[in-house]
Amino acid sequence: MKAAYIQDGRVQVGDMPEPTPAKGQALVRTHRCALCASDAHFLHSGPSIVALSKTHGGPYAQIDLSRPFVPGHEYVGEIVDYGIGSRKPIAIGRRVTSIPIMRQGGAHLIVGFNNECPGGLGEYMLLDEDMMLEVPEDIDDELAAMTEPLAVGLEHARRGKPTSEDTAFVIGCGAIGLGVIAGLKLMGVGPIVAADFHASRRDAALKMGADIAIDPKQQSPYEPLPDLRQRRVNLIYECVGAPGLLQQIISAAPFEARIVMGGYCMEPEQLLVFAAQNKRLTIMFAAGEEQQDMELALRSIADGKIAVASWIGARIGLSGVADALADMSGPKAPIRCVVDPRTM
């Protein structure tokens, strides 16, 4: 099969072996796959991430970076076959998406971050039949590919256990931060304050449902906010993952604030615990989505309660993956770049 793969820190496009499904696995032909910042992180910092996983535990410890692996974990595809002995819960020919985890055969692999479990930047993938969700016919491929990143934001939103009394603050308005805003709106939580350095991302936050969007270089979001009748934020979602940011939040947060750490920081953090204790802060660490979040994300896209079409920017084939990953952190980068791995 044709695929964009990473080997020794470089993106290449070429032929890879077509995977063969085992019991409990579906062979899926990928229709679309979105690029995520974690793909770029792995491209540039793969050895550090693997070393951290080996030291502290984690599924990335299994990757051999000297061998090719096919990334891509935000996907939609069509079932073409099942392994012998599978339950076959969804008919062949139907489109599916899933949590990017393979648990069949006693394994715990991350789809797209494993040498043996290729992701959506190849023509074919293997998916766990217990994780798959059928995509409704009236959702196009590009919108369906937004299910997984939206689900991550929805998980983070509920992880903070928000109530109608909270004033939520979302730091970072990429796909995950926007998903948090959407999740908070679904739960009736508000007002919602968003912050991002880039004007286009602040505009996206307002469209997603934030009440105000702040440039943190121009205004402190932690002070009483005149636009919100002097309310102060008390439920803070970190959706960036930049080293040092958590301590900045601790230093600025008000008494008894709650902090949800959703951004994946791949570097050691030094925290002044004394400052957090003095304020009686609660810090919660969010992770990936669960099945309930995927189901809610797909349902919300299908019924139009969460509009994600504006997230989609460039549409490319496999030959454009390297440049798209290189430009992902730029101020003009789209929230999501979508790849059709059936085209070059």
Same domain, 135 and 171: no
pLDDT in tens, 28-43: 999 999 999 889 888 8
Tokens read off for 110? 């991350």
Same domain, 269 and 219: yes
Asked, for residue 178, whether it belongs to a domain, the answer is yes
Asked, for residue 334, whether it belongs to a domain, the answer is yes
Same domain, 190 and 127: no
Asked, for residue 239, whether it belongs to a domain, the answer is yes
Q: Residue 21 maps to which CATH number? A: 3.90.180.10
pLDDT in tens, 188-204: 998 999 999 999 999 99
Which pLDDT score, from 0 to 100, does residue 119 have?
A: 97
pLDDT in tens, 250-292: 999 999 999 999 998 777 788 999 999 999 999 999 988 999 9
Asked, for residue 299, whether it belongs to a domain, the answer is no
Residue 25 pLDDT level (bands cut at 50, 70, 90): very high
Same domain, 158 and 27: no
- Provide the 10 A C-beta neighbour count for residue 162: 23
Angle made by CA atoms 52, 56, 58, in degrees to the nearest 5: 80
Whole-angstrom Cα distance, residue 325 to residue 116?
22
Same domain, 134 and 23: yes
Same domain, 123 and 172: no
Which pLDDT score, from 0 to 100, does residue 331 have?
A: 66
Same domain, 194 and 90: no
Whole-angstrom Cα distance, residue 111 to residue 125?
8
pLDDT in tens, 279-331: 999 999 998 899 999 999 999 999 999 999 999 998 999 999 999 998 887 66
Same domain, 114 and 156: no
| Domain count of the fold of the chain | 2
Tokens read off for 6? 């990473």
pLDDT at 7 over 70: yes
- As a whole number, the mean pLDDT across the chain is 94
Asked, for residue 29, whether it belongs to a domain, the answer is yes
User: Residues 3-9: what's their mean pLDDT?
Assistant: 94
Same domain, 117 and 49: yes
Same domain, 10 and 135: yes
Asked, for residue 303, whether it belongs to a domain, the answer is no
Asked, for residue 194, whether it belongs to a domain, the answer is yes
pLDDT in tens, 66-99: 999 999 999 999 999 999 999 999 999 999 999 9
Same domain, 140 and 206: no
- Structural domain containing residue 122: 2-146+308-339
**Secondary structure string (H, E, C) spanning the chain:** CEEEEEECCEEEEEECCCCCCCCCEEEEEEEEEECCHHHHHHHHHHHHHHHHHHHHCCHHHHCCCCCCECCCCEEEEEEEEECCCCCCCCCCCCEEEECCEECHHHCCEECCCCCCCCCCCECEEEEECCCEEECCCCCCHHHHCCHHHHHHHHHHHHHCCCCCCCCEEEECCCHHHHHHHHHHHHCCCCCEEEECCCHHHHHHHHHHCCCEEECCCCCCCCCCEHHHCCECCCEEEECCCCCCHHHHHHHHCCCCCEEEECCCCCCCCCCCHHHHHHHCCEEEECCCCCHHHHHHHHHHHHCCCCCCHHHEEEEECHHHHHHHHHCCCCCCCCCEEEECCCCC
**What is the pTM assigned to this prediction?**
0.95
- Provide the 10 A C-beta neighbour count for residue 188: 9
| Contact in structure between 70 and 16 (CB atoms under 8 Å) | yes
Which pLDDT score, from 0 to 100, does residue 24 have?
A: 95
Same domain, 184 and 231: yes
Which value, to the nearest 10 degrees, does the dihedral of the CA atoms of residues 60, 241, 316, 302 take? Answer: 90
Q: Residue 165 maps to which CATH number? A: 3.40.50.720
Which pLDDT score, from 0 to 100, does residue 269 have?
A: 83
Q: Of 251, 246, 199, which is closest to residue 220 (Cα–Cα)?
A: 251
* pLDDT above 90: percentage of residues in the chain: 82
How big is the chain, counted in residues? Answer: 344
pLDDT in tens, 197-239: 999 999 999 999 999 999 999 999 999 999 999 999 999 999 9
Distance from the Cα of residue 69 to its chain's centroid: 19
Asked, for residue 18, whether it belongs to a domain, the answer is yes
